[in-house]
Amino acid sequence: MSAPVAAPVSRNARLAWYAGLAVLGLLVGAAGALVQAAWFPGGLLLGLLATAGLFYGGLRATGTQIGVAAGGGGWLVAVILLSFGRPEGDGVFGGGAGELLFLFGGMAAAVMCTTLSRLPRPTA
């Protein structure tokens, strides 16, 4: 008796996964941007671990590198929007080493997760 083969995921379900990962990327990016400055260096580590978890989870949940890109796109949008200062001078990122480590560390995690191999597909 052979193992049951998983039914292919429909296009709409896959698009829903990607949209959910993009929204989750926005939330993780915003939370990481706030916590990395509040509790340095522990907050920076926590933000980077959450970011890497999002990217790796997106890869494993969808089975494609597009899952990483969807979460990474949402994360990048949140980080870029929070890096803009207001005319009054208020901003989330103050321009220190922690902010740069969060930005470059998150991008490095996205690249590493994108280049990981995909899970093998079950055969019939």
Per-residue pLDDT tens over the stretch 81-95: 888 877 776 776 667
> Are the C-beta atoms of residues 98 and 41 closer than 8 Å to each other?
yes
Helix, strand, coil percent values for the chain (each to nearest 5): 70, 0, 30
Residue with the larger pLDDT of the pair 24 and 120: 24
Q: How confident is the model at residue 123 (pLDDT cuts 50, 70, 90)?
A: low
Question: For 39, which DSSP code?
Answer: T
Distance CA 62, CA 25 (A): 15
Q: Which helix (H) or strand (E) holds 93?
A: none
Per-residue pLDDT tens over the stretch 67-116: 999 999 999 999 988 888 777 767 766 677 888 898 899 999 999 988 88
